[in-house]
Amino acid sequence: MSDTKRALVLGGGGVAGIAWETGVLAALADGGVDVTTADRIIGTSAGSTVAAQITSGLSLSELLARQIDPARQTPELASGVPMDQLWAQFQRIYEGTSDPAAQRRELGALALNAATVSEAERRAVIEARLPVHRWPERDLVIVAVEALTGEPRLFTADSGPGLVDAVAASCAVPGVWPCVSIDGVRYMDGGVRTSTNADLAAGFDRVLVLAPMPDVAEPWKELASRAGVLVEAIEPGPDSLAAFGLDPLAPEVRTPSAEAGFAQGRSLAARVAAMWC
């Protein structure tokens, strides 16, 4: 088993997703299975924040406390965008064409034309979220999408931009937060490709996917169809969804979402251990 390759996939889901994923991961470790030791960690949007946090050197218990304790939570900006309005915009784009590339370009146009806070204001939020601003010496992949072309971009320690910029790009929700400029290119949320980008875990023997938001593509199913590959996908249960509320971007959902994630992770620890170990 020493040559078994493991991947941890952390999907998007806003502020609620960050808190929930942290709770799940902390509970799994508390239950005897620390999946943060994975050979590759793939982070998208909220998951990119969690990926950077769990590779920072801080313990999962400390990261969980930073989500649960209001006195230790980092500052967040309210989106100011009604979620029903945003979802309606997304739905019109998805219903207008079935071509994923065309959908991404339409979402890019929305992102580029949206009235948002400045890049600097948003970047300050990302800086505060990350305990360490340098890339870890780990196989960490952060997914973003070029706003103009709709082409995905995989950021790694060797790809050029700093960790803060990579995470900020991956978290740039179209219509809510500003696109992130890196070397003259504007980037938006990596969840525009898929909410987990779990297909990037191809080639690994054990894959754990945390998917705070639905991923209609469910790419982990294709991975699981391969001989010798074990995949576990964890999505929010009813209590976790209730904790998320109607706006997963709202700062006040952090504490209940982290607590719900911890409870859900504790209930799944034995099942994940059987797959992972």
SS (H, E, C) the chain: CCCCCEEEEECCCHHHHHHHHHHHHHHHHHCCCCHHHCCEEEEECHHHHHHHHHCCCCCHHHHHHHHHCHHHCCCCCCCCCCHHHHHHHHHHHHHHCCCHHHHHHHHHHHHHHCCCCCHHHHHHHHHHHCCCCCCCCCEEEEEEEECCCCCEEEECCCCCCCHHHHHHHHCCCCCCCCCEEECCEEEEEHHHCCCCCHHHHCCCCEEEEECCCCCCCCCHHHHHCCCCCEEEEECCCHHHHHHHCCCCCCHHHHHHHHHHHHHHHHHHHHHHHHHHC
Catalytic residue among 48, 165, 170, 189: 189
* Residues of the chain where predicted confidence (pLDDT) is lower than 70: 1-2
Catalytic residue among 45, 48, 240, 257: 45
pTM of structure: 0.97
At residue 2, the pLDDT reads 59
Q: 189 catalytic, yes or no?
A: yes
At residue 1, the pLDDT reads 43
Q: 247 catalytic, yes or no?
A: no
